[in-house]
Amino acid sequence: MSQFWLYFQLGLNHVLDIHAYDHILFLIALTVPYTFNHWKKILWLVTVFTIGHTLSLIMSTYGLIKVSSTLVEFMIPVTIFITALFNIFTAKRAGIEKFGPAFFVTLFFGIIHGLGFSTYFKGIIAGEENKLLPLLEFALGIETAQVIVVLVVLILGFILSTVFRFNRRDWILVISAMVLGIILPMLIENYPY
């Protein structure tokens, strides 16, 4: 059980670590267009992101994929930038887009984010005989942490819209613009060319 808790906590800390805020920024950008009325959709999107993240860790751990870390470190802020920018352009009709494209884009973005952590994770589980079980335990920790972040964003959105009468469209625009402002320096810093 202690091994389970070790990898579960690693997954939790991977998402909730304030120093590795890129994961949190992506979740904020992914969640901000939605309300509690969309809970099933956002839960599916978060789970799809975890699946993508886990798939890339599995492929990397078993040597099925190898990608330049420089490129991945640039692509991670690109995924956040695209998500926040999409929110800005679609704020008026947020939450009503078709599920299909969002599903596949989120899966792909999860794969990119997982590749960013794959080298470190491979080092952690190097001594493990069964590498799949720690990967799944880690994924469960990631999923739990992501649900926590999503709940915080949904609760803040609910409070601002009901108590302070903040317009939902404005909420999406302000938060997405803040995410863009935070992620732009990371994009510039990690530009590989």
Q: What is the mean pLDDT of the chain?
A: 91
Q: How is residue 104 written in tokens?
A: 């596949």
Cα 161 to the chain's mean position, in Å? 24
pLDDT at residue 99 greater than cutoff 70: no
60-73 residue pLDDT tens = 988 899 889 899 99
Query: Whole-model pTM?
Result: 0.91
> CA torsion 67→28→7→49, rounded to 10°?
-50
Give, in degrees to the nearest 5, the angle at Cα 158 between 46 and 148. 35
145-163 residue pLDDT tens = 999 999 999 999 999 999 9
Phi, psi of 145 (to 5 degrees): -65, -40
pLDDT at residue 1 greater than cutoff 90: no
Q: Please return the burial class of 91, using the count of CB atoms within 10 Å of its CB with bins 0-12, 13-18 and 19+.
A: buried
pLDDT at residue 3 greater than cutoff 90: no
Predicted local distance difference test score (pLDDT) of residue 97: 60
The CB density around residue 92, as the number of other CB atoms within 10 Å, is: 10
pLDDT at residue 95 greater than cutoff 60: no
9-41 residue pLDDT tens = 999 999 999 888 999 999 999 999 999 999 999
Contacts of residue 107, defined as CB under 8 A and 6 or more positions apart, other chains included, come to 48, 49, 51, 52
- pLDDT above 70 covers a percentage of the chain that reads 95
Per-residue confidence at 141, pLDDT binned at 50, 70, 90?
Answer: very high
The size of the chain, in residues, is: 193
The stretch 96-106 carries a mean pLDDT of: 75
- Contact predicate 107/48, CB 8 Å: yes
pLDDT at residue 78 greater than cutoff 60: yes
- Contact predicate 32/172, CB 8 Å: yes
176-189 residue pLDDT tens = 999 999 999 999 99
Predicted local distance difference test score (pLDDT) of residue 159: 95
Predicted local distance difference test score (pLDDT) of residue 122: 85
- Contact predicate 79/180, CB 8 Å: no
